Amino acid sequence: GVAIVWLRDDLRVADNAALFAGSAHEAVLPVYIRQTASPARPRGAAAQWWLHHSLEQLAARLEALGSPLTLLSGDPFEILAMLVVRFNASAVYWNRSYDPARSAADARVKSCLTSSGLRAVSFPGQLLHEPTRLRTGGGGHYRVYTPFWRALEAGGEPRPPQPAPERLVAPDLTVASEALSDWKLLPTTPDWAGGLRDGWSPGEAGARARLNEFLGDGIADYAEGRDIPSVDNTSRLSPHLAHGEITPAQIFEALAGAETPGSDRDELVFRKEVGWREFSWHLLVNEPDLPRANHNRRFDAFPWAHSPVALEAWEKGLTGYPIVDAGMRQLWKTGWMHNRVRMIAASFLTKHLLIDWRRGEEWFWDTLVDADPASNAASWQWVAGCGADASPYFRIFNPILQGEKFDPDGAYVRAFVPELSKMPAKFIHKPWEAPRSILSEAGVRLGRTYPEPIVDHKAARDRALSAYNQIKGAA
Ligand code: FAD
């Protein structure tokens, strides 16, 4: 009979277990459902832009394989039940979502479909191992990365990725697909997506090309170079992973099979970064409140400041700290920010500005093309000091020294903060210390062309530490 394949965050045809199972049927109907009342957090604007283009690519690929993608909006259970009747389907397949906001609804769909005599099967999703499988000696979930990684490595080879189906047979009947353009996922006015279009190729083919490029070149010196934001030394696979255009199993397989210019250490460090994504999902599955609640409940009493003006300066990249501003502008312009700078910018928000990490998490959620419920929440909590295996709160990044260490010649700042492009390297991370003559030669007028620092580093640091002291002793 006909199989219905329900696609969600798995916008690919290779290593797609649900689609592969569907391809063994007489006919298969791939469907993507836009949930009008989703139990999960709605995608942010940048991720919606990505989704539009990714669906376009997927639809073209499925059509070429023989069974076009059907787009529908509404409640997934009602739509799937309608499709089952209409196509007289014998099976519904999908790949598991590990988002706790969705798994309860998925379980309901499964039991309803199964009770009407159907094969309703969910397949392992886009993690190397099922996140419930790895357990500490005490039976709980891991809260510290290193033992988690060891367990992951000891957990045996991840399942090998599945090939793409060679051909799909479309059912004889059809159901009218909605038009993607009607979903209005793209920005209209203002069209802020120019930088996204320039920098990214959403879709499975784009993901593959990105991986090949990274393995062919970018991975050389990754272990050190991954910390230098002006150098294109990281894979930039994150938005492709977030939309399921590629899986970690495919990445690990390609890495094992390729002759790369990277050293063993480069490869290990890269694999361990992909491992952080697994760890974040492991945390989210076991702590569903991770995007909202402090992992360390002591932080519930933290005296966060209410500062809408400072928050807006941070969002716009106008804090007067060049490395922070460069990062925030890279994010706005390209939908992505280098990991080192994410850490600096997030630390600045939660410590220098004393603003609740959840405000930063929300901004990232809306502006990142790789916005991911697990990695975003876990990373914000990690930086803020309230997370599992967190960097301690009192470790406060100095944005000047961080800039000087990781962007020594200022190339990254120059790329994203053009007002400072003529500043000599010596002062580019602290323009307020530059003598007048140097400022005027560089065409910089502090407070006019580029802001004065929004807070004084030393005073902000003292304020953060005394705020932390207020909760330190609490249980
Ligand atoms: P690479 O260095 O090439 O790493 C390869 C892959 O490993 C990445 O694509 C990603 O899937 C994974 N990875 C790498 N570092 C981390 C990490 N620290 N935590 C989890 N996974 C990691 N990553 C997201 O995918 N989505 C987010 O919403 C997100 N929010 C973040 C928020 C903050 C405050 C911070 C500090 C980090 C956040 N990260 C997030 C993690 C990390 O910054 C990005 O995954 C990374 O910069 C993506 O670039 P890349 O693909 O070139 O990384």
pLDDT tens digits, one per residue of 394-436: 889 999 999 999 999 999 999 999 999 999 999 999 999 999 9
In the sheet where 119-123 sits, what is the strand order?
70-74, 27-35, 2-7, 91-95, 119-123
Asked if residue 372 belongs to a known ligand binding site, the reply is yes
CA of 369 to the centre of ligand 1 (A): 11
Say yes or no: CB of residue 260 within 6 Å of ligand 1: no
| Model-wide pTM > 0.90 | yes
Check the annotation: does 222 bind a ligand: yes
Told to judge if 380 belongs to the known catalytic residues of this protein, a careful annotator would answer yes
CA-closest residue to ligand 1 atom 48: 238
Q: Verify cis geometry, omega within 30 degrees of 0, for the bond prior to 190.
A: yes
Domain 2-125 belongs to what topology?
Rossmann fold (3.40.50)
Q: pLDDT, tens digit, for every residue of 201-217?
A: 999 999 999 999 999 99
Assembly ipTM? 0.99
Q: For the chain, how many helices (H) and strands (E)?
A: 21, 5
Helix-helix angle 248-257:264-286, to 10 degrees: 170
User: Which listed residue (273, 362, 404, 432) is catalytic?
Assistant: 273
Whole-number Å distance between alpha carbons of 238 and 406: 21
Specify the CATH class of 297-472 in words. Answer: mainly alpha
193 has binding-site annotation: no
Q: Are 368 and 315 in contact (CB under 8 A)?
A: no
Binding site membership of 321 for ligand 1 (Cβ less than 6 Å): no
Cβ of residue 280 lying under 6 Å from some atom of ligand 1:
yes
Please write the tens of the pLDDT for every residue from 132-164.
888 998 999 999 999 999 999 887 777 789 999
Contacts of 312 (CB under 8 A, 6+ apart): none
pLDDT digits (tens, 9 = 90+) for 365-398: 999 999 999 999 999 999 999 988 777 888 899 9
Quote the ligand 1 centre to 339 CA distance (angstroms).
Answer: 6
Compute, in angstroms, the gap from residue 56 CA to the centroid of ligand 1: 25
Q: What stretch of H or E contains 4?
A: strand 2-7
Could you tell me the pLDDT band of residue 343, with boundaries at 50, 70 and 90? very high
Query: In the prediction, which pLDDT does 40 show?
Result: 83
Domain positions in the chain are 2-125, 128-159+203-286, 297-472
In the numeric block, the tokens 């479909």 are attached to 113
Instruction: Indicate if ligand 1 lies below 6 Å from the C-beta of 375.
Output: yes
Look up the CATH number of domain 128-159+203-286: 1.25.40.80
CA–CA dist 55, 69 (Å, integer):
9
Report the alpha-carbon distance of residue 20 to residue 270 in Å, rounded: 29
Owner of token pair 């290990």: 268
Q: Is the CB of 284 under 6 A from ligand 1?
A: no
126 compared with 453, residue with greater pLDDT: 453
192 part of the active site: no
Write down the catalytic residue from 149, 183, 192, 304.
Answer: 304
Beta carbon of 348 within 6 Å of any ligand 1 atom: no
